[in-house]
Chains A and B, each alone.
Chain A
Amino acid sequence: MQCDEVRPRLDAYIDDELAEAERAQLRDHFVDCPECGPEATALERLRDGIRQSAPSYRAPEALRSQIRFALRQEAATSARATRPAPGWLAYAASIMLAVAVGSGGTLLITAERHEDAVANELIDSHLRSLLGNHLTDVASSDQHTVKPWFAGRSDVSPPAVDLAVEGFPLVGGRLDLIAGKPVPALVYRRREHVINVFVLPASRSDLGVNLTRRGYSLRHWDEGDLGFWAVTDAAPTELAEFERVFRAATNG
């Protein structure tokens, strides 16, 4: 093989796209040719350089969770479009709740979805916070550190009170993406358990929620114009206790 045949094959050579017979011919050529061998080496150096210097982008967790959420909504919409509504809806409304993104971008709680999308979404967020090392974006038990951190990062300003005395120390705060909106989460500990409190605009319904899904406890209450959603892997009774002390502390 001559240089003019080798050159057009150099890329395929380093990309391992040549048949073995052809590879061998190129290798033979490199032995004799003072230019083609170094040219192949230069291409390999470029490849190494690219692999070393290029950032390896990974889908952010928030995107992953947002996509799951969007898929659920999409699936719910197309399922609703194909089924006769009344009987099923009435049944669904009695046990489930879901979130609908209103025109103003606020989250409205409606009791008409067949899937408890909020609960699942929040439990997913809770789970993610326990994996890896993204429990908090701001780690502090000081409310004067945690509360200002949220300013400008989200629409709502959560009351970050430390409840260490009551047995629920404040660990910090975090911003999650839920239904495409940044949602503040306050992070508390109960012994070895974590309690995430997601703070959304109030649902303006009197719906108090207290449910268990997939082994996680979830409680929801409104306070003023804020809606609180507490999720934990601790026992439901402990979460009830948490709600009580949290509301006492934030109402005072």
Chain B
Amino acid sequence: MAWIAERRRRSRFESVVLPHLDAAYALARWLTRNDADAADVVQEAVLRAFRYFDTYREGDAKSWILRIVRRTCYSWLERNRPADIVPLDEEGMLDESVASVPVAAANTEALLHNRSDLRRLDVLIEALPAPLREVIVLRELNELGYREIAEITGVPIGTVMSRLHRARSALRRTWEGKDIGDAM
């Protein structure tokens, strides 16, 4: 009967996807920068994944679900907080582009409450533009390789590398105090 097949499909889906719920939530939390929004996005993404479960082929479930979560995050941000999506300027070659990296998204000032925040890497990461923030999160916190990051973010590996480099350079400039001197 249909409901038995449906139940089987659901429990298979749960066993594939739910083990990665923490990673999904963490990515959504970093991209939306808010607990409640992250929860909304993750739920929406998981339901969407469930509807498309037939398109999932045995393979890397984590990349699969993170890709859907990421896409859901961006469309959620477009709908609800378009100002948060700051398009990167032209993706340049590795070293040329570094100088032009925006240190932070438009609302940096709201995020950086005081000078001591300039020493807090979590705050600095939150202030990065989303395309840089996500590669840092996927690489340093999820410890994913370039290939997986490319798959999740839907860009070529070369772009992953240049974004990672730009993100790190931006973080270091502030964190290592090159912009603000060493006074703390």
Query: A80 CA to B1 CA in the complex, in Å?
Result: 10
B95 A8 Cβ-Cβ under 8 A: yes
Q: Which residues of B contact A71 (CB under 8 A)?
A: 10, 13-14, 46-47, 50
Which of B6, B141, B161 gathers most chain A CB within 10 Å? B6
Given known contacts A46-B175, A47-B140, A83-B1, A11 and B165 CB-to-CB distance under 8 angstroms: yes
Q: Which residues of B contact A74 (CB under 8 A)?
A: 10, 47, 50-51
| Residue A101 CB within 8 A of the other chain | no
Q: Which residues of A contact B172 (CB under 8 A)?
A: 42-43, 46
Per-position 1/0 for B33-45, Cβ under 8 A of A: 0010011001100
| Residue A15 CB within 8 A of the other chain | yes
Query: A56 CA to B38 CA in the complex, in Å?
Result: 14
Query: A83 CA to B13 CA in the complex, in Å?
Result: 21
Q: Which residues of B contact A66 (CB under 8 A)?
A: 39, 43
Contacting residue for B43 out of A46, A50, A70, CB 8 A: A70
The interface on chain A, measured as residues whose beta carbon lies within 8 A of the other chain's beta carbons, has a size of 41
Contacting residue for B18 out of A8, A64, A79, CB 8 A: A64
Give the contacts of B109-136 with A (CB-CB under 8 A): 120-122, 125, 136
Given known contacts A46-B171, A50-B125, A15 and B139 CB-to-CB distance under 8 angstroms: yes
B120 A83 Cβ-Cβ under 8 A: no
Q: Which residue of A lies closest to B24 (CB)?
A: A59
B25 A59 Cβ-Cβ under 8 A: yes
Q: Which residue of B lies closest to A180 (CB)?
A: B43
The interface on chain B, measured as residues whose beta carbon lies within 8 A of the other chain's beta carbons, has a size of 47
Give the contacts of A158-181 with B (CB-CB under 8 A): none
Query: A146 CA to B22 CA in the complex, in Å?
Result: 31
Which of A68, A71, A83 gathers most chain B CB within 10 Å? A71
Q: Which residues of B contact A83 (CB under 8 A)?
A: 1-3
Which of A46, A55, A62 gathers most chain B CB within 10 Å? A46
Q: Which residue of A lies closest to B30 (CB)?
A: A57
A57 B176 Cβ-Cβ under 8 A: no
Per-position 1/0 for B62-83, Cβ under 8 A of A: 0000000000000000000000
Query: A55 CA to B141 CA in the complex, in Å?
Result: 9
Q: Which residues of A contact B42 (CB under 8 A)?
A: 59, 63, 67
Per-position 1/0 for B139-168, Cβ under 8 A of A: 111000110000000000000010011001
> 23 A–B contact pairs at CB < 8 A?
A11-B168, A12-B161, A17-B146, A42-B172, A42-B176, A46-B121, A50-B140, A53-B121, A54-B121, A56-B141, A57-B38, A59-B24, A63-B25, A63-B42, A66-B39, A70-B46, A71-B10, A75-B10, A79-B2, A82-B2, A83-B2, A114-B3, A115-B3
Chain B interface residues (CB < 8 Å from chain A)? 1-3, 5-7, 9-10, 13-14, 18, 21-22, 24-26, 29-30, 35, 38-39, 42-43, 46-47, 50-51, 94-95, 120-122, 125, 136, 139-141, 145-146, 161, 164-165, 168, 171-172, 175-176
